[in-house]
Structure 1
Amino acid sequence: MRDGVPSTSAQSALRRLRRRPEAWLLAVILIVGTIFSLTARDFLSLPNIIDLLETYSVQAIMAMGLFVVLVSGGIDISFAATASVAQYCAALLASQLGLPAPLVILAGLAVGGILGCLNALLIHYVRITSIIATIAMMSVSFSLLMYFSGGKSIYTLPDWWTDRIVFWQTETESGDLVRITLPIVAMVVVTLFTWAWMTRSSAGRQLYAMGGNAEAARRIGINIGRLQFVAYGYLGLMAAIAGMLQAHRVGESVPNAMYNTELAVLSAAVLGGASLTGGIGTVPGVLLGIVLLAILQNGLNLLGVSSYFFQIVIGITILASTSLTVISSRRGRRHRILAEAPANG
């Protein structure tokens, strides 16, 4: 800085920061959080914050899987149904057959992974558009689950599944018990793994390349089909983990417990900067998207605002993100045409 004027490098860094969705999202979170802390009692209390972390840990885990699919250039609407099916199948094996924990968990993960790979098969080999294929799979999976389960919940889960696993706990002055439990720790582990995998591994870089330009990625030797199975299979695994953690949280397996969470998770991903056209997005951005939605819903609930208003926020978020994506792509196409015009002329 010279004479109170930032240096060129500092100005350049500031401009890059302003362009990042995470910076704007963090600013919005701070503003919204400040407003709710002044208007809603107990909003910033430690018990409320920890409760938010545990409540939204399931959605955050699914959002990590969806982030990978979005980066690869696809979209998946069936992950909530996948989570429900994996959870219920694992619950049946645990309650009806009495299988041990490792086998039940592996079976649940296998169901999720298989359903995810089935989406990839339909998209890559049958050539069905990703949104159509996954909407169809969502309908089929959830309908079959409700048909065979009769909509009945399973309340007889074994103790190893329902017992709370507490990593840290403390008691506040008001007598409230604050605990860091398994869902919160699982969310942190999944988030860190997804971040490291997508930023440090060859597969992660290839997924970004495929989402940015699938044809160019194919020309340089990237196996598009294999990567689609990796992306959708990973989302299937994350959905299965989320489903089993949800059953752990509530102590039962409810067939429709995960129903209608797709749009909230998708909103968090696009809020965090993950493009619906692929190749763009970061794990911290998606996590901040989850945080913003959690703050909005919790703050509105504390203020007694109707839950339908939160659904309006989700809808506006998706519309705004899609509009910005289309506008940006049009501008990029226009700039490329203008840049190529002199050469062609």
Structure 2
Amino acid sequence: MRRLFRTHATEICLLAVIVLIAAFLAFATPRFFTLGNAFDLLNISSVNIIFAVGLLVVLIAGGIDISFAVAASVVQYVTALILGQVGGGGWASGLLIAGGIGTLLGAFNAFIIHRFKIISIVVTIATFNIYFGLLMFFTRGVSIYTLPDWWTERIILYEREMADGSWAEIRLPVLVMAICVAATWFLIRHTTTGRQLYAFGDNPEGARRFGISIGAMQFIAFGWLGLMAGIGGLIQAHYAQEVVPNALYGRELDVLAAAVLGGARLGGGKGSVLGCVLGVLLISITQNGLNLMGVSPFAFKMIIGAIILVAITLSNSRIDKLLPILKTERRRR
């Protein structure tokens, strides 16, 4: 038991906090502790979890990416336009197109970081603005409401009628999220590439001397996040049943907070899929509870900022590795 707590302390603490917050909210608002609300939370959280496990791989490799949410918006729009030109397609072609475009956008970030030796946070701030600026310029902020039927058709995996006549449903986003979580867990825990990502993030210079390719690690990490961004963008449009250019704008902070809260270190070499998922769920539960209690949404933004600050402060990393990863990035030059 002691060994379990030592190796999974972050996850156990997060689970305990989730239980305490859920217990408080169950007393604070009667609508919180219902099966319908629990299923809604799971459906709504699915896209952020997909984003978070992608970001986790980048954080493990010692990088930071804040452009993924905007990249997912670009993927949504471009995918919708391509599918319109090819007659609608289906889930297979949609996932292939969205995943491919997302991977290319992630690889572009990796290319700039590796080729010009620029720290990742600076590059992704730049591409964040480039992607969003181009998207809004070419779309003029106009949404796409006419999507192929397969993309907007609601797919229910499990449903149950409630006492008030409403239905509690688990939908397709939850299944896609589970597949992405399992794939990421397998990548980082059961492949040589995953072990190399941990080694590279923890000690870039030592990993390089051991023969691990810096460029390969960066392209794999940012490419994987791009893939998850593409899939997440496709699923978010499915859930919303429309493509809105700025729908995902601003999610990057929520996802980053969840990943850091889940134990991912802003210096590389540490992080788990379970902690990442629990971090997203904790933030989603907090936001849901505040909404049900009628608390201003601006209060939630303050909480997100506090979560990031506290998580960084309590990290067992050295502070020089937590500040925009300058020392780690210099070693890679």
TM range (shorter): over 0.9
Match of 2:269 in 1: 279
Match of 2:209 in 1: 219
Shift of 1:331: 11
Task: Report the Cα distance in structure 2 between the residues aligned to 1:130 and 1:30, rounded to whole angstroms.
Answer: 36
**Greater CA drift, 134-143 or 191-200:** 191-200
Match of 1:51 in 2: 40
1:80 aligns with 2:66: no
**Greater CA drift, 70-79 or 174-183:** 174-183
Match of 1:137 in 2: 127
Match of 2:111 in 1: 121
SS in 2 for 1:168: strand
SS in 1 for 2:245: coil
1:181 to 171, 174, 199: 171
For residues 132-189 of structure 1, what are the alpha-carbon distances to aligned partners after superposition, in whole Å with 9 as ceiling and x for unaligned? 0001001000110000011000011010110011222221222111222110111111
Superposition TM-score, scaled by structure 2 size: 0.92
1:90 aligns with 2:76: no
Task: Report the Cα distance in structure 2 between the residues aligned to 1:16 and 1:272, rounded to whole angstroms.
Answer: 15
2:181 to 170, 191, 196: 191
The structure with the largest alpha-carbon Rg is 1
Task: Report the Cα distance in structure 1 between the residues aligned to 2:54 and 2:5, rounded to whole angstroms.
Answer: 30
Shift of 1:114: 0.5
SS in 1 for 2:116: coil
Match of 2:218 in 1: 228
Shift of 1:15: 5.8
Task: Report the Cα distance in structure 2 between the residues aligned to 1:259 and 1:15, rounded to whole angstroms.
Answer: 37
SS in 2 for 1:205: helix
Alignment of 1:1-345 (within 5 A): 12-13=2-3, 16=6, 20-101=9-90, 102-325=92-315, 328-329=317-318
Large movers: runs of 4+ above 4 Å: none
Shift of 1:88: 0.5
Task: Report the Cα distance in structure 2 between the residues aligned to 1:99 and 1:174, rounded to whole angstroms.
Answer: 38
**Greater CA drift, 240-249 or 95-104:** 95-104
Whether contact under 8 Å (1:90, 1:105) holds in the other structure is no
Task: Report the Cα distance in structure 1 between the residues aligned to 2:241 and 2:16, rounded to whole angstroms.
Answer: 37
Task: Report the Cα distance in structure 1 between the residues aligned to 2:294 and 2:183, rounded to whole angstroms.
Answer: 37
Shift of 1:99: 4.2
What value does the CA root-mean-square deviation take over the aligned residues?
A: 1.7
Task: Report the Cα distance in structure 2 between the residues aligned to 1:112 and 1:330, rounded to whole angstroms.
Answer: 32
SS in 2 for 1:76: coil
For residues 67-123 of structure 1, what are the alpha-carbon distances to aligned partners after superposition, in whole Å with 9 as ceiling and x for unaligned? 000000000000001100001101112235424223343222211110000000011
For residues 216-245 of structure 1, what are the alpha-carbon distances to aligned partners after superposition, in whole Å with 9 as ceiling and x for unaligned? 011111112111100100000100101010
Task: Report the Cα distance in structure 1 between the residues aligned to 2:147 and 2:75, rounded to whole angstroms.
Answer: 14
What letter is aligned with 2:64?
I
Task: Report the Cα distance in structure 2 between the residues aligned to 1:214 and 1:14, rounded to whole angstroms.
Answer: 29
Structure 2: runs of 5+ lacking an equivalent: 322-333
Match of 1:340 in 2: none
Task: Report the Cα distance in structure 1 between the residues aligned to 2:127 and 2:320, rounded to whole angstroms.
Answer: 34
Whether contact under 8 Å (1:72, 1:279) holds in the other structure is yes
Whether contact under 8 Å (2:99, 2:230) holds in the other structure is yes
Shift of 1:248: 0.4
What letter is aligned with 1:46?
L
CA spacing shift, 1:221–1:331, aligned 2, 3 Å: closer
SS in 2 for 1:252: coil
For these two proteins, the number of residue pairs brought into alignment is 320
Shift of 1:291: 0.8
Match of 1:338 in 2: none
Task: Report the Cα distance in structure 1 between the residues aligned to 2:112 and 2:194, rounded to whole angstroms.
Answer: 22
